[in-house]
Amino acid sequence: MDDENEKIDNGIELNENLASNDNNSSHNCAVERKITQTDHLNKQLLNAFLERLNTKTENVQDKECTTDVEWVENTTDETDEITSSLKNGIKLKNVFIIGISGPSNSGKTSLTSCLKKSLPGSAHICQDDYFHPPGDKRLTWIPEVQHHNWEVFSSLDMDSMVRDVKKIKEIWMEEVQDKPSILLVEGFTIFNYGPLNELFDKRYFLVTSKETCEQRRLTRDYNPPDVPGYFDKVVWPHYIQAYSEIMERDDINFIKEDMSKEEIFTQVKNDIDIYLESL
């Protein structure tokens, strides 16, 4: 992979090659199971992002800092307030993790992308980027539909996803900022996986009907592509099971589909703003 000036929307810009063009490299077998229209942070970029942050210099006051970190400029009063808080032993929490979930084609990616654009200092990672590649021995084959089951945790590298989220939080927590850094985590079963679910500060779930999901799914391209019967026999039954496990929880904001995309975005954005202002 030889990408120049690849930019991650949380303010960190990679100005170097992320990997060599070694023809024997195994990195070309990146996760293939993804919707082609999405723009979320892929796993290779996330790993490069974490590596860059781990090796950054301590000289954060130099505006020509080679880490390419776009630091927030505080006013004198704001800086004094933060410094005073630190001197008094107060640990400023400046990292918030927000989960966006829902069934297949419920609008998770669209909502997350809009939130990312409207929330300064935010980044976005997606559960879809942690699917094992087709043919991986950890995948479950379904003879009835002659297709792998992509709806279960065994089809995902959830351990890596949890480690990545924790690492980003750990690195961001070391920084003193006057505004919070926000990590948006999107996925179809992120609230069902305990080690990941416990990391969220806010949770939103887009409740969507079977008819809407099925119609939208027909317009999407998947790799590998869906086979006849996969949605009815695999996707939807697994969603019903996953939803039944979380539907009674009061720590999740369930959003019904009787609103437009704009109304859903406004409701979620306002709720996040109120939450951040209350801290």
What confidence tier does 10 reach under pLDDT thresholds 50, 70, 90? very low
Q: What is the pLDDT of residues 154-191, one digit of tens each?
A: 999 999 999 999 999 999 988 767 778 999 999 999 99
Q: What is the pLDDT of residues 262-273, one digit of tens each?
A: 999 999 999 999
Query: 42-46, 95-99, 100-104: lowest mean pLDDT where?
Result: 42-46
From 9, 128, 129, 164, the catalytic residue: 128
Strands 12-14 and 6-8: antiparallel
Q: In this structure, what are the phi and psi dihedrals at residue 127, rounded to the nearest 5 degrees?
A: -60, -30
Query: 31-45, 133-147, 168-182, 185-199: lowest mean pLDDT where?
Result: 31-45
What confidence tier does 35 reach under pLDDT thresholds 50, 70, 90? very low
Q: Average pLDDT, whole number, for the chain?
A: 77
Q: Which residue has the higher pLDDT, 178 or 236?
A: 236
Q: What is the pLDDT of residues 38-62, one digit of tens each?
A: 344 445 555 555 554 454 433 333 3
Mean local confidence (pLDDT), 77-87: 46
Q: Looking at the domain that runs over 6-277, which CATH code has it been given? A: 3.40.50.300
Inter-residue contact 69 to 11 (CB < 8 Å): yes
| DSSP 8-class letter at 72 | P
Note the pTM of the prediction, 2 decimals: 0.69
The reply to whether 164 belongs to the active site is no
Largest CA distance in the chain: 66
Query: 37-41, 104-108, 123-127, 244-248: lowest mean pLDDT where?
Result: 37-41
135, HSE (Cβ side, Cα atoms, 13 Å): 4
Mean local confidence (pLDDT), 234-247: 97
Strands 181-186 and 122-126: parallel
d(CA 128, CA 217): 15
Inter-residue contact 155 to 224 (CB < 8 Å): no
Amino acid identity at 71: W
Amino acid identity at 227: V
Q: Which residue has the higher pLDDT, 54 or 247?
A: 247
Q: Who contacts 26 (Cβ-Cβ below 8 Å, separation ≥6)? A: none
The β-bridge partners of 132 are none
Q: Which residue has the higher pLDDT, 86 or 258?
A: 258
